[in-house]
Every structure is written in structure tokens, then in C-alpha cells.
Amino acid sequence: MTMNDNFNPSAIIRPIVTPILGVTTETPRTKAFTISAPSIGKHAVPGQFVMVWVPGIDEIPMSISSVNQGVEFAAARVGDATTQLHKLKKGDLLGVRGPLGKGFVFPKATEEKIMLLVAGGCGSPPIAFAATMAIRMGFVVDVALGATSKAELLFFNRFKDLETQGVRRFVVATDDGSDGLLGTSVDAATFLLDTDPAYSACLACGPEGMLVNLNTLLQKYSIPLQVSLERYMKCGVGLCGHCIIDLEGSRVCHEGPVFDAKNLEESDFGKVTRDATGKKEPLQFESNTS
Amino acid sequence: MTMNDNFNPSAIIRPIVTPILGVTTETPRTKAFTISAPSIGKHAVPGQFVMVWVPGIDEIPMSISSVNQGVEFAAARVGDATTQLHKLKKGDLLGVRGPLGKGFVFPKATEEKIMLLVAGGCGSPPIAFAATMAIRMGFVVDVALGATSKAELLFFNRFKDLETQGVRRFVVATDDGSDGLLGTSVDAATFLLDTDPAYSACLACGPEGMLVNLNTLLQKYSIPLQVSLERYMKCGVGLCGHCIIDLEGSRVCHEGPVFDAKNLEESDFGKVTRDATGKKEPLQFESNTS
Amino acid sequence: MAPKKPAKNNSGLAIKIGSIELANPTILASGVLGVAAGGLIRAWQGGAAAVVTKTVGIESRTGHPGPRIVGIYGDSLMNAMGIPNPGIQEYLPEIESTIKHEIPVIGSALGNSPDEFASVAEQLAKAGVTAIELNVSCPHVGSLYLLGMDPQSVTEVVTEVVQRVKGKTPVWVKLPGSTDYPCLVKVAQAAEAAGASALVALNTLPALAIDIESRRPLLGAGIGGLSGPAVKPIAIRAVWELHQAGIAIPIIGVGGILTGSDVIEYFLAGASAVQIGTGVLTRGSTIFSNVCNEISDYLKEHGINQISELVGRINDAGVSS
Amino acid sequence: MAPKKPAKNNSGLAIKIGSIELANPTILASGVLGVAAGGLIRAWQGGAAAVVTKTVGIESRTGHPGPRIVGIYGDSLMNAMGIPNPGIQEYLPEIESTIKHEIPVIGSALGNSPDEFASVAEQLAKAGVTAIELNVSCPHVGSLYLLGMDPQSVTEVVTEVVQRVKGKTPVWVKLPGSTDYPCLVKVAQAAEAAGASALVALNTLPALAIDIESRRPLLGAGIGGLSGPAVKPIAIRAVWELHQAGIAIPIIGVGGILTGSDVIEYFLAGASAVQIGTGVLTRGSTIFSNVCNEISDYLKEHGINQISELVGRINDAGVSS
Ligand SMILES: Cc1cc2nc3c(=O)[nH]c(=O)nc-3n(C[C@H](O)[C@H](O)[C@H](O)COP(=O)(O)OP(=O)(O)OC[C@H]3O[C@@H](n4cnc5c(N)ncnc54)[C@H](O)[C@@H]3O)c2cc1C
Ligand SMILES: Cc1cc2nc3c(=O)[nH]c(=O)nc-3n(C[C@H](O)[C@H](O)[C@H](O)COP(=O)(O)OP(=O)(O)OC[C@H]3O[C@@H](n4cnc5c(N)ncnc54)[C@H](O)[C@@H]3O)c2cc1C
Ligand SMILES: Cc1cc2nc3c(=O)[nH]c(=O)nc-3n(C[C@H](O)[C@H](O)[C@H](O)COP(=O)(O)O)c2cc1C
Ligand SMILES: Cc1cc2nc3c(=O)[nH]c(=O)nc-3n(C[C@H](O)[C@H](O)[C@H](O)COP(=O)(O)O)c2cc1C
Ligand code: FES
Ligand code: FES
């Protein structure tokens, strides 16, 4: 119902509650949801996210994966809210507010510019959106996609389809070797870099360990890296401070979720995260530098 | 101070509190006050009024008499608030909110069109403003001005000065005959009508008895009359209902203070008014029809 | 001049407040437009199903000096009218000429004692009002606000009034703009036990706004009552608390209603009808029919037949008071 | 990375809250940005003279499920965070790294008993906080709101805390968003008598907002606390009532401050300092310096040397409580 739009606070602090337009199963553990929220879709850029209200359960952050047919996001089933979310069907009500945060910054495109996009695990949504945008802006795009197994390669078909539209090379890697290279998205990226390291920028999203390793890798090539981070979010609009990652008070929900990796040196990036209480917990992952 | 204009409710419900720019004594019982309130001045039309807050005393309605050098109104000393008002000097603080109500409606001016303006007693302020406006719009303007005595002819000089700018004939009347005709502004109007009754419109303000008599007079000539009424006002913005004058709920502060006299037939016009409690009181005056 | 009854093209809007049947759930709130019959009629022509009069007492009151209203950030308002009224005797003709047009009129009464409340109520009842609303809650008039925060006083006033109008005219009690909900519930229970037929929640909230140039309160009375959108979530909470607490008489929601959505919100929280005051400033006196149209759209879009089906139907599983 | 101290180009803004001297009157309110040291530092870099931590208790709390905030008409907000916090032990490092930058930190404490409040306070005091703020007034956490409405309970909590911090660290009491001012004054007097050094007025006001599509409360917890411009005139009234009632300890005003004008209004009503929360959303984390600049302009334009000269200087002759 749009009758009192004039009187409503902006959609970044008040959810648009609307029936789901469509649900698609993307991988065994991931479904994509599309909702009608033109005011969000119109302004969203890749890397921005929405807070998704699963009525009766919780409100959780989800990256926007597309704004073509409505606002789309893709959620992996990991806990309470995402499990309930996966039970919802077309027509069920969902709340979304956004677009939130700052997205990827696209360098000025020229004919020479080639962009590397790297997605690991559940990191595909913002990268898929970014790929579409980069192509529309005239970039030559290479994509490195990684997952645990072939079945879990999120948005594989979507990236594949983009090969006809502007994706130059699309390399996948799986932990179990069931598709592409044996390894992670960082290994896929390494493969691409080995062939042609002339990237003007790299945008990445995925598990934080992967982002750290990717950063180490790209520093060798001096390719500027933008990473999309995840932190526990409470307000999503920079008010509560729960998602802060450094002493300057950088908020993942507000200054991020996309950061220039070079600005994260003195931050919690790759080191610690906070749980729902605000307690700090060390991040554990396998490093490629050791 | 204008620092938080963005955050302020509109000036019709929140006073602009500002030092008085200037005070002039216009008659023994009337002073004109000018304040700086550009947001009011820019939108005001003749016949509209402001609620004037005399800090510590009361808030009272005053017609806008000019918007040339700031917003100007002219107040006769009649009671508490106006007595305190008369003590204020340049630089003292005064609050004003507005512009309130609906002003005079000016018919489309053509070369042929002549307008009659009639002011009695304290009725000069909106008429002076209307005269300036009518001249600017290309009307030929005749003015009838009445008061108890020569000294009380409010804005006499102002109307006089307008004779060089577009006022064709300016006729005055005084109760004591100390200037002009012996009689009221209605007698002055009668004089003008006797000479040339080809007026396309008449705008008037003054004591209600005078307006009733003027209406009776103009009906004979079929000249449309607009009158500016006064009623006890509490909110000034059509909310409280204190100034209602008919069963349709016409509010002097909102649908008025200017009304087409022909629409006032089934109203309290010329019959009753309300005091501060809302009690109805009969209006008493000398009729020219009896 | 016979005022025309507004077109009733909205189905599903009819509601009942106890024995009172109304064409739609919107009622003009007390103190707005209600000084004169013409104002009550205007609200009715603007779509209100019923109108509450200005609060009247035995004696006339001039009310507070101006300024009497001041705008507050976000279309909200503060007022300190001070309940100007000509006294019940002088005011009766306004009521009578409104009732003559078959407009349901609710008479709002105040008093300095249970007896005074009852005297005013008797006269209102005799004039044929549809119900009496007891204003025990004006935040800027002497001790009225405190009266409405005290269950014992409320019991005394309501008991006396109900007895004197002999149970013929329903008696509504208008609750104060309190955020102390346990207290509010006690007052409500007292009113219900003493025979009130409905509760009206809430009156304005006590507040202060200061002009930083003159360093004076922006209202002549100093203290004023906050109304409009600012108070809506507080009043909705109050309605919900009363509903939760098992109040069985109808609750009439009031505070900050501007749109049909707002009305639905009040109904879901437990209201059976609503009143609109400040909204008349924001959207004009046709706010009632605008709001009704918006409610109709909502009902249609959601396949709901009657707005009354929504009363208290908030899904608040897991929500603790 | 050493955060830079914001430029102090505003004279006349220095204030005192009892023995505490601050460069300007703006303080970051509890619960905003304060989960992490970086947030407290950000507010200070944005111009806040001091910062209040997130409210912490002995045990960790995950807080309420989302949604945890919802926008309300007119730039106002409701929140029901549910005071998530990792517990005082885990939180101490955040405080310490903030204090390391010579930022005055006020530690906000909650507890289930006077003893718990005091235990948290002791640890805060040991960490070197400038003052302790007792949150006896969160409207969406169990019985905290009611605690703050009960003078006896407040006496017990404050007495225990003051004794345990041995009078070395000033103890502030944050009052509930109540519109029952007589009660609020009693609570304030109880706090003062028990040794509180300052009062903070007000916490958020209890409220409810409902989504009419899902028919659920818009906050995960159902009930939430209203903040922002909607509550400003109510909180200013509270400050004025406390000041009028002869409370001698400093009053810190909080609620809806967006501009320098708002701060002046609070001071005129009787506040000696202010806190800003929701304004961080409306104007960003540099709201503190923006507000300070606006205050400076006002002081200059009006020939006032020190903002502290304005405390309680409302001209309220003829205004009755
Ligand atoms: C900016 C951002 C974008 C994201 N985009 C996506 C995406 O596109 N697709 C996707 O599948 N996932 C995404 N996530 C992660 C997603 O938010 C969590 O998987 C989800 O919140 C889990 O909720 P749950 O109730 O099912 O799990 P729970 O059982 O509540 O918790 C499981 C884990 O999920 C995480 N989590 C829970 N609540 C939150 C919260 N409010 N904020 C952040 N993390 C939380 C925590 O790590 C927690 O340990 C994103 C997270 C962020 C911060
Ligand atoms: C639309 C309008 C325009 C007006 N324009 C002018 C003008 O340009 N110049 C001028 O001198 N006067 C004007 N008046 C009249 C002016 O408002 C009163 O003279 C003034 O309010 C008297 O205030 P007081 O406190 O001095 O008198 P009081 O001692 O309070 O009362 C004296 C009389 O003034 C009138 N009055 C008092 N308060 C109000 C009020 N709130 N609303 C209406 N009338 C009131 C009543 O008739 C009262 O009996 C106008 C009135 C209205 C309604
Ligand atoms: C100008 C004005 C005058 C009011 N006068 C009265 C009154 O006389 N009696 C009363 O019970 N309530 C009075 N109220 C309160 C309203 O009836 C209503 O309870 C309150 O304004 C909240 O509703 P709203 O937000 O729709 O205005 C008045 C409100 C306003 C704005
Ligand atoms: C998101 C949010 C979280 C809050 N958390 C706390 C808290 O933990 N402890 C507390 O005492 N007050 C808390 N408050 C209340 C604020 O400190 C403040 O009293 C209130 O918001 C009014 O001020 P404001 O209008 O400037 O926000 C919180 C407010 C908000 C908006
Ligand atoms: S989630 Fe609240 S500041 Fe980021
Ligand atoms: S003065 Fe209130 S309606 Fe006209």
C-alpha cells in the first residue's frame, strides 16, 4: 500500500513490507528472493545491501544481487532467520529497507580497462550485481568464482550467461575439485593473474579469510582491491556502532560494507569480529602467506 | 537566527521572533510596526494577517499593511496586548506568524477597470496594502477613508501619496467633520458612487456596522463587495473553530478574513460575534437602512 | 442552509462503540473546530461519523492567553487553549443546532468536582448527545491531568456521572497522555468498573517549548499539550496496553492520525474507533473522508470485509509488555 | 592511528557538571556508536566533549531480535536494541582504549539488583571513567523502566553504587521517559538525596509501532523506545519540572536535539549539559561540532559570554506548573 508514502520516513529506516515476487533455488543451500521495492531498486548500486525483515524472527543484512526484475537478494540457509526465509514462498510478506551502506566504486572506464571480480562462497550476490554494472559501464570483466563444490557455485549460470555480454574470462574453483580448479576463488584469481595481470581494479566478496588471502595476492601486483565485508549488524544505518571495525569508528553498515583493502590495515579486517552481544571473537582461517 | 530553518515548522504555526525594525506613530491611538520576516513578506497578499506575539502578554491578529520594507502592521491601542505593544521600541522583540487566511481577490485588470477601496477606523491597513497592489496591477483606484476625526484618519498620507501613482480620487469623511465630509467612510463612498458608479469591485475593511451599511449601499449598484472581517481568534489557522461565523463552518482566520459579502447572508455577519470564551454577543451599530 | 451529508460510498467502515453505531470509525476530537455548531458540521461534512464538542464546564472560561498553539518539528503541535468555553448553558444552542442535522454529537465535559462533572453531563444528556466524554486529562488546565492519573478520583467522577445520567447516555472517559502504563491501566479499570462505556486514549502529552530569542515559553500558558504524529506511537502503545490488560469496553484511539494506515494501526492495537484532531490542520477538514477512502482501499486490497474485524488483531506473539 | 582532537574554535562553550569540566556541552548519548571504542572516538572527533558508553551489565546480553530500529514520522525513531552488550569484563578494553585518547568517558551501567549495579560501577570506576551513568530507565528491557519510576528502588540502587565507588566517581542517574512529572520529581529527589551527582533526562519513551501489512510490531521486541524530535518538548518539560522543583545537582538534557537552538532551549529550561543520540542519524557523527558552532553563533549574536549563563534562565513569569 502506497497511500501514505508522503508521510513515511525514508526506506532506510522503515521497511517496505511487500509480498515476495519470486523465489528461486540457486544452490542446495541458497535461494534468491525478488521483491518489489522500486524506491530501493532505483538507487541501489552494487555492494549495497538491504536489511531483510523475516516477520516474527529477525532482521538480517543481505547484499543486493540484482535490481532488474525488482530487488533481488540471495540467502544461504545458516540459522534461524535464513531457515525461516527459505520456507517463504511467492506472495508471502517480507520487509526490506535500504539501500544501505556504500557500494563498490567503479573507476572511470576506458577502452583499456579490465576489471577482476572475485566471489567466494556466499559472496556472489554483490559480485553478480557488480558484473552486470561493470559490463554496462564498458569494462572488460574477468570473474573468479569459488565454492565448496560444483553444486554450491552460486550464480554460476548467471556469470556463464554474461560471457556473451562482456565477461571475458570466467574461471571457477571448488574445494572438492568437482568443477574447475581444485581450490578456492583465490586460486581461480591466481590463475587469471598468471595469464594477464593487467587489471585496473579488483572487487571481491566472500569469506574474510579468502579476502585476506586475495589482498596479499593482489598487493604483489599492485592492483587496488575493494572488499565487501560482513559484520553482525543491528541497526544497519550507522547509529548503534555494533559493526565498527577500527578506532576511527568505520561502520561496515555505513562507511562499508565495501572498503578499499588498503584502508583496512589498522582495522579488525581478518583479525576479529563481534558476535550479537558485541563481544570480540578472533577470526580463524587458513592463510596463504604462512 | 536562521540556523535551523530546515528543521522548523512553517511560519504559520511557529512565530518568527525578531527585533522590531521600526515603529511609527500613525495616529494618536495607532502605531505601525515593521519587522523583518522575509518568508512572510514574500507570500503575503493584501487582506492576509499575522498573529502578533507580544511576549508575556498575548498573541493577537493584525492585518498586514505593507511588505515593502519588511512586514508592517498598524495597531490601535485598545487593551492589554496593544497597550504593551505600543510601549515597544525599535529593537524590542516581537513574534509574528503568517501570512494567515485568504486575502482580497483581485479581478483581472483591464484598462476599463476601476476599483473602489473603503476603509473605516482601524480598517486602513489591509486597504493600504490593497491600494498599492491594485495600482501595481494596473487598476484605477478610488479610495474612501473614514475616521472619528482628522487626526484618526489612519494612513491618510499614504493614500495621499498614492494620488501621484494611480489613486484617481481620494475622499475622506470624519464623524466630527474635522476633515473632508461630515460622516463615515460609507458617506465618502456614497459621494464617489454619486459621481461615477462604474466600479468593477469594492474592497472594504472597518467596523462591522460600516461594512453592513456599505453592503446595503453597493447592492443597489450591483458592485461586488469583498469585506475583511474581525472575530476573536485563538489559533489563527482554522483549527480551533473559535472564529466560525456560519453553519458551514466558515472560519474568519482560514476561509477569511476576506469574504464576498454576498456569501455572508446566512452568517453571523452584522449580527453576532464571539468573546474570548466563545460566547455569542449581538453586534450593535447604527444601520443606514432603517 | 442545510449542510449536506457526505456521500457514504465506503463499505466495511461501519463500527460500533458499545450501543452506538457509526457509519465510519473517524470522529472529530474534542477542542478542534468544536467551538461553534458550524465547526462540528464542517467536520461531519468532511467525513467524520461523529463529532466531539469543545470541552465545556458549568462556568465560562476565557482560556489561556496567546500564543495558544505552536508547531513542533514533524507536523506535530502543542496547544494550551486552556479550554475556553462559554459554559454549558451558553453552549447548548451549538449542540442543538448540530444535532438538528442528525449528526451524532459527543458532549465533552469538565468539572471541578464529581458533582460539577455530573451537572454538565446531565445537561448534555438532556440536549440529546449520543455520548458524554469526560475530560479528566487536559495537561495544561489546573489539576485535570492529575485527576485522570488517580484511579480513586476517576472512580468518583465516573460513578457520579453515570448515576446522574441514569445510564441512559453512554459515558466515555478520556485518558491522560501518560507514559506510565501500569497507572493508566489502573485508571482505565477504575473507569470501567465505575460504569464507563468506552475509553478515549489519549489526550495531549504535557510538554514545554521555549523561544530562544525572548527566552519565554512559546505558549502563553507556558506548559502545553503535545499532539500530532509525535504522540502516535505512544498512544498506540497505550491502546495496546489497555487491550492487553483485558479492558472489555471499547477503546477509542486518538493521537497523531493523518492517514488510513494510522487508523489501521490503532485498530490492530485494540481500538474500535478513532478521533482526529491535529490532522485537521495537516490535511484540512476533509481529512475524515480522505482517511476513510484510504481505509477502504486497504480493506479491499486485503480482502477484509469490515474494519471491525481488525480490532486487537495485532500478531504480537513473543512480544512482552 | 591516533585520532585527532577536534579543533576547539568555539569559546564560551565550556561547562561544568559538578566537578567535571567539559570543553562544550554536547555529550554522546548511551547506546549510540558506543559498542566499540572506535564509535566513541568517532563521536569525540565529531565534536562531542564526552561520550557515554553503551549500557553494560555483569552478564552479556544478545539483545532483542530485529528489527531493532524503525523510523517514525518527523525524523523520530523507535528502537528496541535490548541493550546488547558483552558484559563489563569483555567491554572494559573498549573503555580503556577510548580513555587512552584522553576522551572523557561516562560508563553506563545496568543491573538486576543494587549489588549488580554497584559491581558494574566499581569496574567502570576502576577503568577510569569520568562518571557513571545508571540506566534505570530503558523502556524495553524487563523491569528497568519501572525501576526508574519507583523512588524507593532508585534510592537503594544509588545508595549502593555511591557507597561502593566511595564517592570518588560521580554517579549520574538516567531518568525514564515519563510524562508523570510529579513522580519523576520524586525519583529525582530520591536520587539526589542518595548521593547522585547529576540527573540525565530523559531516556526513550515507551511506544509501539505496527506494520499494517504483516500486522506485527515493527520492532522485534514489540515495544520500543521513542527518541528524536518527537520527544524533545516532553524532555524539556521534564528538565524544567526538575529545575523548578529545586533539584540542585546538574541536569543533563537529552531527547531530540538536532541543532544549537535545541541545546539553548534545554539550557533555558534548566539543563547544564546535553546528550545527543538520534541526531547522529539525522546529521551524522559531526552533529556535535555542528551544534557547537550553532551555539557559538547564538552566543555571539546575543552577546552572551558563556552558555552556562543560560542555565534555567527561561523567563517563565506567569507560567504555572
Ligand atoms: C553487509 C552484509 C551482506 C550480506 N549479504 C549476504 C548475502 O548476500 N547472502 C547471504 O547468504 N548472507 C549474507 N550475509 C550474511 C547474512 O546476513 C547472515 O548469514 C544471516 O544474518 C544469518 O542469519 P540467521 O538468523 O539465519 O543466522 P543466526 O542463527 O542468527 O546466526 C548465524 C550467523 O549469521 C550471522 N548473523 C546473524 N545475524 C546477523 C546480523 N544481524 N548481521 C550480520 N550477521 C548476522 C552471524 O555470523 C551468526 O553467527 C551478509 C551479511 C552482511 C553483514
Ligand atoms: C483578521 C484581523 C485583523 C485585524 N487587524 C487589525 C489591524 O490591522 N489593526 C488593529 O488595530 N487591529 C486589528 N485587529 C483587531 C485586533 O486584533 C484587536 O484590537 C486586538 O486583538 C486587541 O488586543 P488587546 O489585548 O489590546 O485587547 P483586549 O483587551 O484583549 O481586548 C479588546 C478587544 O480586542 C479584541 N480582541 C482581543 N483579542 C483578540 C483576538 N485574539 N482576536 C481578535 N480580537 C481580539 C476583542 O474584540 C476584545 O474585546 C484585527 C483583528 C482581526 C481578527
Ligand atoms: C487545539 C486543540 C485543542 C484541544 N482541546 C481539547 C479539549 O478541549 N478537550 C479535550 O478533551 N481535548 C482537547 N484536545 C486534545 C485532542 O482532542 C486530542 O486528544 C489530541 O490532540 C490528540 O489527537 P491529535 O493528535 O489527533 O490532535 C485539543 C487538541 C488541540 C490540538
Ligand atoms: C539506537 C539507540 C540505542 C540506545 N541505547 C541506550 C542504552 O543502551 N542505554 C541508555 O541509557 N539509553 C539508550 N538509548 C537512549 C538514548 O541514550 C537517549 O536517551 C534517547 O535516544 C533520547 O535522545 P535522542 O533523542 O537524542 O536519541 C538508546 C537510543 C537509541 C536511539
Ligand atoms: S549496525 Fe549499527 S552501526 Fe552498523
Ligand atoms: S481562530 Fe481558530 S479556527 Fe479561526
Round the average pLDDT of chain B to a whole number and report it: 93
Indicate left, alpha or beta for B13 from its phi (over 0: left) and psi (-120 to 50: alpha): alpha
Q: Residue B61: pLDDT above 80? A: yes
State how beta strands C223-227 and C251-254 pair.
Answer: unpaired
Q: Do D258 and B7 touch (CB under 8 A)?
A: yes
By most ligand atoms within 8 Å of CB, the mutation choice from A58, A78, A86 for ligand 1 is: A78
Q: Please tell me the pTM assigned to this model.
A: 0.96
- Distance between CA atoms of B54 and A155, rounded to whole angstroms? 70
Distance from C-alpha of A193 to C-alpha of A144, rounded to nearest angstrom: 10
D30 in contact with A, Cβ within 8 Å:
no
Strand partners for B174: B147, B182
Q: Is C92 on the interface with B (CB under 8 A)?
A: no
Ligand 5 contact via A242 beta carbon (within 6 Å): yes
- Taking an 8 Å cut-off on Cβ atoms, the answer to whether B247 and C32 are in contact is no
Q: Which of D76, D157, D203, D275 most suits a substitution to test ligand 4, by most atoms within 8 Å of the C-beta? A: D203
Q: Is C138 a catalytic residue?
A: yes
Q: State the DSSP H helix or E strand holding residue B125, giving kind and residue range, or none if neither.
A: helix B124-136
What size, in residues, is chain B?
290
All three cell numbers of C114, joined, read 464529581
Residues of chain D contacting residue A18, judged by C-beta atoms under 8 Å apart = 213
Determine contact: C229 vs chain A, CB below 8 A.
yes
Taking the CA of residue C231 as reference, the ligand 3 atom at the shortest distance is 25
| pLDDT of C16 above 70 | yes
C321 pLDDT higher than 70? no
Do the beta carbons of residue A93 and residue A7 sit within 8 Å?
A: no
Query: Which pairing describes strands B201-205 and B114-120: parallel, antiparallel, or unpaired?
Result: parallel
Mutate to test the interface with B, among C1, C42, C97, C286 (most CBs of B within 10 A): C42
Supply the pLDDT for residue A4. Answer: 45
| Alpha carbon separation from A26 to A150, A172, A183 (Å, rounded) | 12, 16, 21
pLDDT classification of D317: cutoffs 50, 70, 90: low
Tens of pLDDT, residue by residue over A142-183, are: 999 999 999 999 999 999 999 988 899 999 999 999 999 999
β-strand partners of C24: none
In this structure, how many other beta carbons lie within 10 angstroms of the beta carbon of residue B86? 17
Rounded Cα distance, B31 and A134, in Å? 70
Q: How far lies B115's CA from each of B46, B133, B168, in Å?
A: 14, 12, 10
Atom 22 (ligand 3) nearest CA: C255
Residue A286: per-residue pLDDT: 76
Q: To the nearest 5 percent, what fractions of chain D are helix, strand and coil? A: 35, 20, 45
> Does position A107 have pLDDT exceeding 70, yes or no?
yes
Residue B290: pLDDT band with limits 50, 70, 90:
very low
A11, three cell numbers:
526506506
Rounded Cα distance, A194 and B46, in Å = 80
Residue carrying the nine cell digits 558484559: D87
Kindly list the structural domains of chain D, giving each domain's residue range(s) and its CATH number in brackets, ordered by start.
Answer: 15-310 (3.20.20.70)
What separation in Å is there between the alpha carbon of A122 and the centre of ligand 1? 10
User: Which pLDDT does position D76 carry in this prediction?
Assistant: 96
Whether the predicted pLDDT of A74 surpasses 60: yes
- Interface membership of D315 toward B (CB under 8 Å): yes
- Contacts of C73 by beta carbon, 8 Å cutoff, 6+ apart: B7, B8, B9, C230, D74, D75, D229, D230, D232, D256, D258
Whether the CB of A2 is below 8 Å from some CB of chain C: the reply is no
pLDDT in tens, C87-120: 999 999 999 999 999 999 999 999 999 999 999 9
User: Which residues in D lie closer than 8 A to residue B4 (C-beta atoms)?
Assistant: 258-262, 294
The C-alpha atoms of residue C215 and residue C253 are separated, in whole angstroms, by 35
In one-letter notation, the amino acid at residue C196 is A
Catalytic residue among D48, D138, D221, D242: D138
Count of C-D CB contacts under 8 Å = 162
Which chain B positions have a beta carbon within 8 Å of D317's beta carbon?
56
Which of D261, D266, D315 is most worth mutating to test chain B (most B CB atoms within 10 A of its CB)?
D261
- Interchain contact C74–A (C-beta under 8 A): no
Q: Across the interface, do B7 and D259 touch by the CB < 8 Å criterion? A: yes
Q: What do you get for the CA distance between the two ends of chain D, in Å?
A: 52
Give the residue among B134, B124, B166 at the shortest CA–CA distance from B32: B124
Determine the pLDDT at residue C6.
Answer: 52
Number of the ligand 1 atom closest to the C-alpha atom of A257? 1
The reply to whether B247 touches chain D by the CB within 8 Å rule is: no
10 Å CB burial of residue C2 (0-12, 13-18, 19+) is exposed
Please tell me the distance from the alpha carbon of residue B65 to that of residue B51, in angstroms, as a whole number: 13
Q: Judge: C216–B56 Cβ closer than 8 Å, yes or no.
A: yes
Q: Where are the alpha helices (DSSP H) in chain A?
A: 38-43, 80-87, 124-136, 156-162, 185-195, 208-221
Give yes or no for C315 touching A (CB within 8 A).
yes
Q: How many residues does chain C have?
A: 321
Cβ-Cβ pairs closer than 8 A, B with D, add up to: 22
Instruction: Decide if C47 contacts C5 (C-beta within 8 A).
Output: no
- Across the interface, whether the CB atoms of B13 and C36 are under 8 A apart is answered no
In this predicted model, what pLDDT tens digit does every residue of C181-238 receive, in sequence order? 999 999 999 999 999 999 999 999 999 999 999 999 999 999 999 999 999 999 999 9
Q: What is the percent of chain B with per-residue pLDDT over 90, rounded to a whole number?
A: 88
C58, C138, C263, C273: the catalytic one is C138
Single-letter amino acid, residue D89: Q
3 state DSSP class of A27: strand
The mean pLDDT value of chain D amounts to 94
Helix ranges (DSSP H) in C49-180? 88-99, 114-127, 144-147, 151-164
pLDDT digits (tens, 9 = 90+) for A78-96: 999 999 999 999 999 999 9
Cα–Cα distance, D136 to C246 (Å, whole number): 28
Confidence class of residue A199 from pLDDT cuts 50, 70 and 90? very high
Ligand 6 atom nearest to CA at B252:
4
pLDDT of residue A60: 98
Which grid cell sits at C319? 512480544
Q: How far is CA D306 from CA D21, D42, D272, D310, in A?
A: 14, 26, 12, 8
- C151-167 burial, b at 16+ Cβ within 10 Å, e below that, comes to bebbbbbbbbbbebbee
Residue A276's pLDDT band (cuts 50, 70, 90)? very high
Matching residue, cell 476573536? B232
> What is the residue whose three cell numbers read 455569542?
B280
What's the CA gap between B256 and B266, in Å, rounded? 15
Distance CA C72, CA B9 (A): 6
Residue C72 pLDDT greater than 90, yes or no: yes
Chain D partners (3+ C-beta pairs within 8 A) = A, B, C
B266 interface with C at CB cutoff 8 Å: yes
All three cell numbers of C243 = 487491550
Is there an atom of ligand 1 within 6 Å of A232 CB? yes
User: Which of ligand 6's atoms lies nearest the C-alpha of B251?
Assistant: 4
| Interface A:B, ≥3 CB–CB pairs < 8 Å | no
Classified as helix, coil or strand, D95 is helix
Report CA(C71)–ligand 4 centroid distance (Å): 25
| CB burial of residue D14 (10 Å; 0-12, 13-18, 19+) | middle
D195: alpha, beta or left, given left = phi > 0 and alpha = psi -120 to 50?
left
- Is D214's CB within 8 Å of C315's CB? yes
Q: Which helix (H) or strand (E) holds D181?
A: helix D181-193
**Cα D205 to middle of ligand 3, angstroms:** 20
Contacts of D41 in chain A (CB under 8 A): 247-249
In chain B, what are the domains?
9-100 (2.40.30.10), 114-282 (3.40.50.80)
Ligand 5 pocket member A257 (CB < 6 A): no
Task: Give residue-wise pLDDT tens across range B140-170.
Answer: 999 999 999 999 999 999 999 999 888 999 9
**Residue type at position B3:** M
Minimum mean pLDDT among B5-19, C178-192, D56-70: which range?
Answer: B5-19
Interface test with D, best of C72, C141, C214, C237 (most D CBs within 10 A): C237
* Residue D1 reports pLDDT greater than 60: no
Would the pLDDT of D280 be above 50?
A: yes
